[in-house]
Amino acid sequence: MTRFFVFLLLSSALFASDHCISQTHRERHTKMREYYKQTPQPQESCSWWNGDYMTEGWGQFRHDMATHGVTVDSSFTTNMQGNPAGGKARGFAYVGSYGLSVTIDLTHTGWDGFQLYAAACWRTGTNLSSRKIDNQFTVSQLFGSQTVKLVELYALQSFWNDRFIMKAGRLCAGDDFLASPIYGQFVNNAFDGNPVSIFYNIPFTAYPGATWGAYVEGKPWDWLSAKFAVFNANGDIGKDKYHGTNFTFSSTNGVVLITEWCLLVNQGKNSHGMPGNYKAGFYYLTGDALQKNHFSGGKHHGDPGFYLLFDQMVYREGGKGSDIGLTPFISLIFQPKSYNEFPFFANGGVLYKGLFPGRPKDTAALGFVYGKYSSDLAAEERAKGQKPQNAETVLELSYWCQINKWFYIMPDMQYIIRPKGTNTYPNAWVIGAQIGLDQW
């Protein structure tokens, strides 16, 4: 058995899994397991290009793994972007993200609902925002931890057909909180993968960063879910030099406590209306507010915040269950201004899936970002003779073009208004494309 898992990891080393995919790892694991259990060999009638997965079944190897509850999930994502006007200088940047995730499901052994999950990534490339634009919200969500890194490593137990879930280990808080599949339709990091202001205010983790944590989720009815978690607030363990392998339990700044409640509209099996999600969350850092944010001097113990995330389909083509149509969304985050860089942050926009006839899997997205710097920070900057920061705004237009089941291209255009909230550099255009090879 040990040799089997060693071979599994080695044989998958070239493959990758990225955070921008829309399904949870449990959903993807279930889908892949059922597919490979039923198709030990690639179907003769289905060409490689039209297959469900890029590398299909690796002979019979994936079928044998799926029979034993093991799936390997992988993909590659890259952003290629240029800054033709505005900002500090003209330029071009490439960013790439490879990854790998392995799920071991012990249901077949009689331990129903128990899974072990591990994920790693390898990121390369440069940051167009810092090198050429000098703006706050990174124009590529793939920039961050440009190294080889172990990401998540945890055990999960589910009950009653996923009505109750708990997991513990090395977790990415952003996988379960302040999250939506909608955000993956954008490239700017202020959208994807989470509304970004929380990362500037407290030690919140998201792919490819993880920390020790424990998480529970309950779904008592089809229309309601509730999540609770606690995360270690030691930001040092996520530094790139450790490559995700600093397993210390020490905490330098308390813990982050967080809860999120979601009203799931028209998402039951018998629902006929258009689906929506209405989320409200609250979080609290038990340690001191980040030292760089003590605008009035001294220290402040504890740092609360809350957020609201709404999305609601308002127009649908097709009948019950169709996902083709128009969906607006908005996200709002609030924290105290006296010791948080961004006391108010908002993003929102609209998505239209299947905008053009014959392209039901494509999605057009238009979004905005507004990040308001703290007025206390601005006052401190003024007193030091610096330009005060007001707000940075981003407009983004993208079109997700699904070429086949595992390959997509997403042309993208961004307009950065008042980079870093000042008039130091002119507004900037960013034009590029995201390319993804999903589910290898």
Per residue in 8-55, pLDDT tens?
Answer: 333 333 333 343 334 577 777 788 878 877 766 555 445 778 888 888
**pLDDT at residue 17, rounded to an integer:** 35
pLDDT of residue 292: 57
pLDDT score for 63: 84
**pLDDT computed for residue 20 by the predictor:** 38
Report pLDDT digits (tens) over 119-130: 999 999 999 999
Residue-level pLDDT at 45: 47
pLDDT of residue 13: 33
Query: Which residue numbers in the chain have pLDDT < 50?
Result: 1-22, 44-45
Beta carbons within 10 angstroms of residue 264's beta carbon: 18
pLDDT for res 238: 83
Indicate whether this model's pTM tops 0.75. yes
Residue 250's pLDDT is what? 78
β-strand 211-221 against 224-232: which pairing, if any?
Answer: antiparallel
Report the number of distinct structural domains present in the chain.
1
- Interior/surface letters 180-208, b for 16+ CB within 10 angstroms, e for the rest: bebbbbbbbbbbbbbbbbbbbbbbbbbbb
pLDDT at 311: 98
Give DSSP secondary structure letters for 293-336.
G-TTSS--EEEEEEEEEEEE--EESSSTT---EEEEEEEEEE--
Q: Residue 246 sits in which domain range?
A: 2-438
> Which tokens in the block code for residue 307?
């957020």
pLDDT tens-digit readout, 384-399 = 889 999 999 999 999 9
Q: What is the pLDDT of residue 55?
A: 82
Q: What does the pLDDT read at residue 253?
A: 85
CATH number, domain with residue 386: 2.40.160.180
Confidence at residue 1, expressed as pLDDT on a 0 to 100 scale:
39
Could you give the CA distance from residue 90 to residue 140 in angstroms, rounded to a whole number?
16
